[in-house]
């Protein structure tokens, strides 16, 4: 009887141990939930600029840094005097004045970039609407542009951007020589006029002028070649 009772007690203990639910493991703290340090935005001040000047950085580098950082500059009278005494270049001081305390860094405007004119590529004279004249001197350039305007040729673009083709004027005047009979001096000038677009030659002309005055010879050549260019331009589908 005692043995039977002992067996019942042991069996009940084992049954209770088997039916007991296991304890849940402690939840691990995710590393993602940990506090992430926030990167501090650099704010330039007068001491920062003075430090860069003392480090012998180029003024252009300092100005670029000023344009692309938040700033907290002291540009009061006392602040400017302190900058001047510290040897800060004038260009850097001007950049600091333009971007006083609390100014955000400058960003390029997309509208400005998209509105910037670009050079077009013409495949023939018929596709040329505007030209840019390139000459060895401003006088010869003005002569060519004036002739084109008088003959109602293509539109002149004074800027080196936004044109369809470039008209290149070339002039080479040799040294003055003397004739054997009259002992009069003269020189020979050789000229060329080339229209190109996108590195491709669309039209070209060469000429030669002999005269006692090199400047007049060059002018006459440029005028003749420019007249031939306008004729060819109009014959290429223009009126």
Which residues fall within 8 angstroms of residue 191, CB to CB, at 6 or more apart?
A: 169, 170, 171, 172, 206, 207, 208, 209, 218, 221, 222, 225
The whole-angstrom separation of Cα 102 and Cα 212 is 68
Same domain for 142 and 84:
no
Same domain for 190 and 133:
yes
pLDDT at 179 over 60: no
The pLDDT of residue 222 is: 93
Same domain for 64 and 151:
no
Same domain for 136 and 85:
no
pLDDT at 1 over 60: no
Q: Is residue 15 part of a domain?
A: no
Same domain for 147 and 66:
no
Same domain for 133 and 85:
no
Q: Is residue 19 part of a domain?
A: no
Same domain for 142 and 66:
no
HSE of 220, CA atoms in CB hemisphere, 13 A? 15
The whole-angstrom separation of Cα 163 and Cα 197 is 9
pLDDT at 238 over 60: no
pLDDT at 225 over 90: yes
Q: Is residue 6 part of a domain?
A: no
Other Cβ atoms closer than 10 A to 143:
21
The whole-angstrom separation of Cα 103 and Cα 71 is 6
Same domain for 178 and 139:
yes
Q: Is residue 106 part of a domain?
A: no
What's the total number of domains in the chain? 2
Same domain for 188 and 91:
no
Q: Is residue 28 part of a domain?
A: no
Same domain for 222 and 129:
yes
Nearest to 222 by CA among 209, 203, 234, 211: 209
Please state the pTM of the whole predicted model: 0.49
The pLDDT of residue 31 is: 45
pLDDT at 186 over 80: no
pLDDT at 133 over 90: yes
User: pLDDT tens-digit profile of 3-33?
Assistant: 545 545 555 554 454 444 455 555 454 444 4
pLDDT at 161 over 50: yes
Same domain for 185 and 134:
yes
Range of the domain at 94: 43-98
The whole-angstrom separation of Cα 85 and Cα 81 is 6
The whole-angstrom separation of Cα 198 and Cα 189 is 29
Q: Is residue 78 part of a domain?
A: yes
Same domain for 154 and 88:
no
The whole-angstrom separation of Cα 141 and Cα 136 is 8
Q: Is residue 92 part of a domain?
A: yes
Q: Is residue 196 part of a domain?
A: yes
Could you tell me the CATH number of the domain that includes residue 150? 3.30.160.150
Of the candidate ranges 95-99, 101-105, 152-156, 217-221, the one whose mean pLDDT is the lowest: 101-105
The whole-angstrom separation of Cα 168 and Cα 158 is 14
């Amino acid at each position: 009887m005692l043995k039977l009772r002992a067996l019942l007690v042991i069996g009940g203990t084992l049954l209770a141990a088997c039916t007991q639910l296991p304890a849940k493991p402690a939840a691990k703290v995710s590393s993602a939930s940990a506090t992430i340090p926030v990167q501090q935005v650099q704010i330039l001040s007068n001491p920062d600029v003075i430090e860069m000047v003392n480090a012998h950085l180029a003024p252009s580098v300092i100005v670029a840094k000023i344009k692309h950082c938040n700033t907290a500059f002291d540009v009061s009278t006392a602040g400017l005097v302190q900058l001047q005494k510290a040897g800060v270049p004038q260009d850097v001081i001007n950049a600091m004045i333009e971007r006083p305390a609390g100014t955000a860094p400058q960003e390029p405007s997309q509208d400005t970039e998209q509105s910037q004119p670009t050079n077009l590529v013409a495949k023939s004279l018929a596709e040329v609407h505007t030209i840019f004249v390139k000459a060895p001197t401003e006088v010869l350039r003005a002569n060519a542009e004036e002739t084109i305007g008088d003959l109602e040729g293509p539109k002149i673009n004074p800027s080196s951007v936004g044109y369809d083709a470039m008209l290149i004027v070339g002039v080479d005047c040799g040294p003055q020589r003397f004739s054997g009979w009259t002992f009069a001096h003269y020189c020979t000038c050789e000229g060329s006029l080339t229209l190109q677009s996108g590195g491709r030659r669309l039209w070209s002309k060469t000429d030669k002028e002999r005269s006692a005055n090199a400047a007049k010879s060059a002018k006459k050549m440029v005028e003749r070649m420019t007249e031939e260019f306008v004729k060819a331009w109009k014959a290429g589908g223009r009126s």
